[in-house]
Structure 1
Amino acid sequence: MPDVDAVVLDIEGTTSATGFVVDVLYPYSRSRFGALLARRGDDPDVARAVGQVRELIGAPDADAARVEEVLNTWLDEDRKATPLKTLQGLIWSEGFARGDLASHFYEDVLPALRRWHAAGIALHVYSSGSVAAQRAWFAAGPEGDLLPLVDGLYDTENAGPKQEADSYRRITTALGVPAGRTLFLSDRTGELDAARTAGWRTVGVRRPGEPYYEHGVGDHPEARAFDEIDLSTRSTP
């Protein structure tokens, strides 16, 4: 796949195992929502997220207990609600910083990211997880701090929903890279479709054992691992 100047990465199911997120990170955040709301309720990021929860449920006076209940319900439903992701990100950031948590990457991912970075390809992340969670995730990588490999981080708050083409158009504007020279890697067909509608190139990452494996990747090019994606041949725009 030549003529790519930027690669935008999904995380869950693409660079990293969904099972790790669901079985490790979700319970970790669930057990700490109440403490976060009590301890950091005046923190601007926490207060903004709580206000968003209240707005989404139509309960402007909802107390911390009600907010925590809603967060746990959304977690059970695997909702991609922005305030849920914001608060999870804050909790995970603390966990990574304390050494309670360490991020997971499939073994084919980091060699490919280092190879692409060395070739001058800009690497970015677009995940439903908050920017704070993404930053903590890459900072606590299995081989140390991986943030130097990453040029930009995007989530549903600064870009928009992942199955809407306008979100990818916003990222294109932020990247300053033509849409046709930007490659998106994801395991979800709806996201791949939205990115292609915005003019991006796409590859569906289809890993055995992941929840979306049986769904396939529609008519997008498919890879089972990052080492199947060859970005070695590039031309000048």
Structure 2
Amino acid sequence: MQVEAQGVLLDVEGTTSSVKFVYDVMFPFARRELAAYLQQSWDDPSCQAACEQVAGDAGQPSLAAWADAEDRAPRDLVEEEATRLMDADQKATGLKQLQGLIWKSGFESGEMVAHVYPDVPPALDRWRAAGADLRIYSSGSIQAQQLFFGHTQQGDLLPLFSGHYDTTTGPKREAASYAAIAADWRLPPASILFLSDITAELDAAREAGMQTGLLIRPDNAPVEPGHGHTEVASFAEILIDFKNPSS
């Protein structure tokens, strides 16, 4: 795959990291530690903000109003709703914020070390050295992204990235989200290459004017033919000219 671009926007799960690491390590850790985290950190502003977002995602005017209406403890409502969202594999913003806060302790203690594919770090180094602007767009919260790339098997990769986006920008399967990212980036959409393993995300990015590449990684879900995105199995297959970007 050969393209001209100024920036590279990267998905995480199934693109830079194995789906199995996210589902077999990160999600179970958040589920296991949810109750303890809520109990220990309930009064922390970051926890309260995430819990208010959980209430908002559930269609409630506020956490207090929700608790009053249900005549239940707010913490119990948040724990129950977060568990329900995890059971349904929902990408709700409040849940992702909570998960990011829980993962913080796991990464900082060394209990979790993020998996990245071996082709990723050298490609990131190569692209940065060539003048690329690298950014992440994931359903995981910005905090979770920063923790993830700051604690990988290949060391601290966080300095390689100059920006992060999550679902507070918008859903990953809507073109408006990618238009908003390009506007924030101050780059023409056509000068940005978006890499993901999900064709619906790539469709949305392409609709917004971005270039796209579909990662075919081990354990990724099969893709339907005829999607129209260039398929690559490794970042090593992606050759980018950063000197003469599309406009």
CA distance in 1, matches of 2:232, 2:163: 24
Letter in 2 for 1:64: R
* Number of the residue aligned with 2:77: 66
Contact 1:188–1:217 (8 Å) recurs in 2 = no
Residue 4 of structure 2 aligns to a residue whose secondary structure is coil
Partner of 1:195: 205
Provide the residue aligned with 2:57 in structure 1.
Answer: 56
- Residue 158 of structure 2 is aligned to residue 147 of structure 1: yes
User: 1:216 & 1:7 partners in 2: Cα distance?
Assistant: 25
Secondary structure of the residue that 2:214 maps to in structure 1? Answer: strand
- How many residues align structurally? 235
Preserved contact between residue 206 and residue 217 of structure 1 (Cα < 8 Å): no
> Structure 1 124/71 Cα, relative in aligned 2: closer, same or farther at 3 Å?
same
Please show how residues 85-164 of structure 1 align to structure 2 within 5 Å.
Answer: 85-157=96-168, 159-164=169-174
Residues 1:180 and 2:190 are matched in the alignment: yes
Per-residue CA deviation, residues 1-30 of structure 1 (Å, 9 max, x unaligned), is 332000000000111101111010111001
Asked if 2 retains the 8 angstrom alpha-carbon contact of 1:187 and 1:217, the reply is no
TM-score under structure 2 normalisation? 0.90
Q: Residues 217, 104 of structure 1: CA spacing in aligned structure 2 closer, same or farther, 3 A cutoff?
A: farther
**Sequence identity of aligned pairs in percent?**
44
**3-state SS of 1:86 partner:** helix
Deviation of the 1:207 alpha carbon? 1.5
Q: SS of 2:240's equivalent?
A: coil
Going from structure 1 to structure 2, the CA distance change for 1:58 and 1:203 (only over 3 Å counts) comes to closer
Task: Provide Cα deviations, 1:57-100, integer angstroms capped at 9, x if missing partner.
Answer: 35611521222122112112110000110010011122111111
Matched with 1:35 is 36
User: Post-superposition shift, 1:142?
Assistant: 1.5
The equivalent position to 2:243 in structure 1, one of 226, 234, 237, is 234
SS in 1 for 2:116: coil
Most deviating of 84-93 and 69-78: 69-78
Amino acid at match of 1:229: I
Q: Which amino acid aligns with 2:128?
A: H
Q: What does residue 18 of structure 2 align with?
A: 17
1:78 paired residue number: 89
RMSD between superposed Cα atoms in Å? 1.6
CA distance in 1 between partners of 2:28 and 2:218 (Å): 24
Which sections of structure 1, spanning at least 5 residues, go unmatched?
Answer: none
Partner of 1:218: 227
Give deviations 1:102-138, integer Å, cap 9, x for gaps: 0001111111111101111110000000000000001
What TM-score does the superposition give when structure 1 sets the normalisation length? 0.93
Alignment-mate amino acid for residue 42 of structure 2 = G
